[in-house]
Structure 1
Amino acid sequence: MSESAQKSYDYATADFNAVYRGGELLGDTGITRVPWDVGEPQPGVIEFERRGRIRGDVLDAGCGLGDNAVFLAARGYRVTAVDAASTAIERAVERAAGRPGGADIEFAVADATSLTEYAGRFDTLLDSALFHTLDADGRRRYAAALRRAGRPGAWLDMLCFAAVPGGMPEPLSVSEQTVRQVLTDAGWTVTELTQAVYWGVAEATRTFLEKTGTQVEIDDKGRTQLPVWSVLAERS
């Protein structure tokens, strides 16, 4: 597809409940399967835990189907997992049942750009690919909501699509400058920002990638290897 013919989409109109039910996520993208459902925790989340970046009460914001939450709960962390999509939460509860730590997770439907009911509750706030799905105003409100939900000195561990070659198209991907500015303005101190990898289901996004002219790396297990910013921040 030529550059002039490449399609663009209004990502703010994505219907997350629909895709969790097998419907279309966004317009005519052909995404009718959850593209981030790889059935296991994201490598970036595993790395956060390995590095000792998880402590105390944990909020998994935009938890999706709950694999990251289950991973952390199985390691003894107290996890609250929220998502704005009620269907995601229903399926996450079902998936967690019977898995180590799954019964101990507090799942809830909640708007991550508000989180008023969770003020001052968490020591660690985890975002595995939510920030980049929001528009500019949503990102600002979300960063502020996370800060409100954190206790003094709380940690934020975040993975978001990086606006770099081989990544998702903008505005679905975010520049390093934008990440730093939004978090700083919301009262976070960014202590580390590096590039990492986020797994996706290549077959679920094949049509979308073709229509947007996006070329990404795919591994031998059929997973997209998407570049993300791995961000560590502290509540100022």
Structure 2
Amino acid sequence: MSTTEQSSYDFTNADFDAVYTGGDFLPGAGIEGVPWDIGQAQPEVVEMERLGRFTGEVLDIGCGPGDNAVFLAGRGHAVTAIDAAPAAIALARQRARGLDVTFDVADATELEGYDDRFDSVLDSALFHTLGEEGRRHCVRALHRVTRPGGRLSMLCFADVPGGMPAPLSVSENEVRSVLDEAGWEITYLSSSVFLGLPGPVRGFFEKVGSSPELDERGHTRLPVWRVFADRRSA
């Protein structure tokens, strides 16, 4: 598939609510089901927690089915997890039964009502779905809702060979510039992997001519940027 054809998919119009209820995620893209629902926390999030990235009040944006939030709460963290898809939040609440996690339906590009509330933020694969303007609005909103000394830990699809096609991937330069403009100082940026389920995206990968690497359990291993950033004072 040509670059022009790949770019015809406007992921900012993806229906994240429909994908959890058997609907059409993005017309013509061939994505059927929830490819990011691996039924456990992302290994990179587990590693972030081991490194001490999450302290105080934690915000998980774009939490999806809630496995990362459930893991963090299970480790004793105070977690608020949001997603714009009501169906995702309903599923996350089911998985978090018995744990003290606050789930809300909310727009990560606005985050109204959360000002000066959080010490740590997790973005596990939301940033790249928002489009150019949405990404800027999101990280500005995150700056507003975090306290002085707040920290952001992020995974986003990397614009590298073997990665997701444009526009569902982000260059290192864009990551750096968008965060810097919004008042975030990147302290660490490296390449890593994000695990997914191959079945729901088999048709999409065929359309874009991609053959992602699989791990020993059959998960797709998609290249991402692992980004750590500190909140600068306004």
Which runs of no fewer than 5 residues in structure 1 stay unpaired? none
8 Å Cα contact 1:6-1:211 kept in structure 2: no
Cα deviations by residue, 1:181-204 (Å, 9 ceiling, x for unpaired): 000000000000001110010111
- Alignment-derived partner of residue 40 in structure 1: 40
Q: Which residue, out of 142, 164, 168, partners 1:168?
A: 164
Give, in whole Å, the separation in 1 of the partners of 2:160 and 2:79: 32
* Contact map agreement 2:119 2:146 (CA 8 A) in 1: yes
Name the amino acid aligned to 1:120: D
1:6–1:213 Cα contact (<8 Å) kept? no
Asked if 2 retains the 8 angstrom alpha-carbon contact of 1:167 and 1:215, the reply is: no
Judge conservation of contact 2:121–2:151 (CA < 8 Å) in 1: yes
2:180 alignment partner, one of 181, 184, 206: 184
Provide the secondary structure at the position in 2 that maps to 1:229. Answer: strand
Gaps of 5+ in 2: none
Identify the residue that residue 110 of structure 1 maps to in structure 2.
Answer: 106
After TM superposition, which residue ranges in structure 1, 4 or more long, deviate above 2 angstroms?
2-8
Contact 1:89–1:107 (Cα < 8 Å) also in 2: yes
**Paired position in structure 2 for 1:91:** 91
Separation of aligned partners in 1, 2:102 and 2:186: 28
RMSD over equivalenced CA pairs, Å: 1.3
Q: Distance in 2 between matches of 1:160 and 1:18?
A: 22
1:222 and 2:218 are equivalent in the alignment = yes
Match of 1:65 in 2: 65
Pair 1:132-2:124 in alignment: no
| Counterpart position of 1:14 | 14
Note if 1:142 corresponds to 2:138. Answer: yes
Q: What is aligned with 1:24? A: 24
Amino acid at match of 1:233: A
The amino acid that maps onto 2:96 is A
Following superposition, the deviation at residue 4 of structure 1 comes to: 7.7
Q: TM-score, structure 1 length as denominator?
A: 0.95
Query: Shift of the alpha carbon at 1:94?
Result: 1.0
Q: Secondary structure at the match of 1:116?
A: coil
What is the SS of the residue equivalent to 1:65? Answer: coil
